[in-house]
């Protein structure tokens, strides 16, 4: 699934092409996504000018004059700007036809994404209960320390909880925990305030670096400009089970936490 840096990379890739553009038509070829695309989406959005392209967690918010299009890329979705004459592929489910002649095309082989409409997007049921953005001012080690008290769950699924902080998915949780020297199996409530301060810093750093590099290349992800991300070459533990630790040379181990594969270094992470 595209993680926060991939979604932010997509947002940045499409923003300049959408801002100020008027939507001429919403062409829907397949409504059966994770939630059905609203029947009246074309009526609501056509003729409106796009005012902003924002992100909340892993959701893209395309704000128009009377409401907001909420887009989630699901497990395999992507958004690209294409020319009007670009042939339609099997999995190209939605086009936003823009007055400038281009189309914002949504492609999703698995159809786990979403295209929804809301007049109050931040109050929508999918967004209302989310925690703070990891790169925002509301997130720090003190929040992690406070919310973790008395928690026996492992620290990795704890920081992946969207009510604690949004957008820290499997890849970046693994990388941040390695950088902070914290064993992903450790009980969240057993970690000190000082170590959470370090972990929060590493979460910020790893995510910011991934965004700067254009996201992490996964099998299904490409950015809004059609180019894949290239942060993967810098990963220290994720996807490297059985390989050597770049820091100490030990063999990296793999376990499962919260039904997710977790790779860590038994020597560097405690």
**Closest C-alpha to 97, from 36, 50, 38, 39:** 50
Structure tokens at 40: 């009246």
Paired with 263 in beta bridges are 254
d(CA 128, CA 124): 6
- The label of the residue with tokens 């489910």 reads 93
CA dihedral 131, 186, 247, 194 (to 10 degrees): 60
d(CA 160, CA 112): 20
Q: Is residue 91 annotated as involved in ligand binding?
A: yes
**Closest C-alpha to 64, from 27, 25, 20:** 20
CA atoms within 13 A on the CB side of 168: 33
Paired with 103 in beta bridges are 82, 97
Helix (H, G, I), strand (E, B) or coil at 204: helix
Active site residues: 2-3, 58, 260
- The label of the residue with tokens 């925002």 reads 136
Q: Is residue 29 annotated as involved in ligand binding?
A: no
Cα-Cα-Cα-Cα dihedral sign, residues 241, 57, 75, 103 = negative
Asked if 46 and 25 count as a contact pair (C-beta separation under 8 A), the reply is: yes
Binding site, annotated residues for DNA: 91, 110, 151
Binding site, by residue number, is 91, 110, 151
């Amino acid at each position: 699934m595209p993680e926060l840096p991939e979604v932010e990379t997509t947002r940045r890739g499409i923003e300049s092409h959408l801002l100020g553009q008027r939507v001429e038509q919403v062409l829907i070829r397949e409504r059966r996504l994770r939630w059905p695309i609203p029947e009246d989406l074309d009526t609501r959005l056509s003729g409106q000018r796009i005012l902003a392209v924002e992100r909340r967690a892993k959701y893209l918010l395309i704000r128009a004059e009377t409401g907001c299009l909420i887009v989630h890329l699901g497990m395999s979705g992507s958004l690209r700007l294409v020319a009007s004459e670009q042939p339609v592929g099997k999995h190209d489910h939605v086009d936003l036809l823009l007055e400038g002649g281009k189309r914002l095309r949504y492609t999703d082989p698995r159809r786990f994404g979403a295209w929804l409409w809301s007049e109050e997007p931040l109050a929508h049921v999918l967004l209302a209960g989310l925690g703070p953005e990891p790169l925002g001012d509301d997130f720090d080690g003190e929040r992690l320390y406070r919310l973790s008290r008395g928690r026996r769950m492992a620290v990795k699924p704890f920081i992946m909880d969207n009510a604690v902080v949004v957008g820290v998915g499997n890849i970046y949780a693994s990388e941040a925990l390695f950088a902070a020297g914290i064993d992903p199996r450790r009980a969240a409530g057993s970690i000190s305030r000082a170590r959470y301060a370090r972990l929060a810093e590493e979460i910020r750093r790893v995510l910011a670096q991934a965004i700067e590099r254009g996201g992490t290349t996964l099998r299904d992800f490409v950015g809004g400009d059609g180019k894949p991300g290239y942060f993967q070459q810098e990963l220290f533990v994720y996807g490297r089970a059985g390989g050597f630790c770049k820091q100490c040379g030990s063999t990296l181990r793999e376990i499962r936490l919260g039904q997710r594969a977790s790779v860590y270094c038994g020597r560097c992470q405690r």
